[in-house]
Amino acid sequence: MFKQVNLIVLFVLFMFAVNINDVNADTVILESGRQITCSKIKKENGMIKCFVDGFEIGYPSSDVVSILRDKNSGRKEKVKGFTFDIWHSGMSIDSVMNIAAINDVPLHRHGLISENKHFNPEMCRDYSHTADEFYYNDNLMGKPACVTLYFTPQGKLLDTLKVRLHSIDINQESSYPKEIKAMLTAKYGEPYRLGSSAEGLLQDSTSWKVQDNCSILMETRTGQVDITYSDLRLNTIGSQERSAIKAKQSKKYHSKDASKF
């Protein structure tokens, strides 16, 4: 009897060890209450390492309360979108904050002005559940640049990214925008739309299709170049969420103020 109990205990301990060292969960829950969704999780040297959108993020085991496994995770179809630098469409706002912290990206909520050149959670993470637009300043191809990330208002998924490069020597005839256009064409193929829009301002526009659900729009005017990456599928979701929010607000205002007229 005693031998049988020992065998059972050893078997339980063995299964526990396997589960701890070969962790393939989808969600890590920290003591702070934060939940991190991961494609893969493993335990290594006292750390729980999560793979989030292709990047590895580590947390001390003592900070992890539990790990939840999504049984259907292996069946999920990955929908491809646009990619710029370390960002790609569909990333959750929590993933963006984590990756910004790892790479020391000075992310700021839209409307906050700061000369800060390092990641500061007070400038971005504190607003991750209330704001849907964040930016950071960078230097691209030797020119000052501002990168803005836009999220769907409710799902908080990255659906649009805009890169604005600005310099007094940028115009339609300068080599700088032509070099960028050549790089985008080499990567995504020939543009499908070329044109210019005015209202008194000279502006060149060029567009590329990225697979079937994304587009890139490059607009050149005197002093700046805007390159906008859009995930059309998520743009549609974002528009639906905004319409739902607007309708809810309108109903609230009508109920509150109707009797005043």
Provide the residue ranges of all domains of the chain, joining segments of one domain with +: 2-69, 83-240
Q: How confident is the model at residue 182 (pLDDT cuts 50, 70, 90)?
A: very high
Q: Which residue has the higher pLDDT, 100 or 41?
A: 100
Q: What is the pLDDT of residues 78-125, one digit of tens each?
A: 446 888 998 989 888 998 999 999 889 999 999 998 888 899 999 999
pTM value is 0.67
Q: How confident is the model at residue 134 (pLDDT cuts 50, 70, 90)?
A: very high
Distance CA 241, CA 236 (A): 9
Distance CA 1, CA 155 (A): 56
CATH second-level architecture of 2-69? Roll (2.30)
Considering only CA atoms, give the Rg of the chain. 24
Residue 153 gets the label, from left (phi > 0), alpha (psi -120 to 50) or beta, of: alpha
pLDDT of residue 54: 63
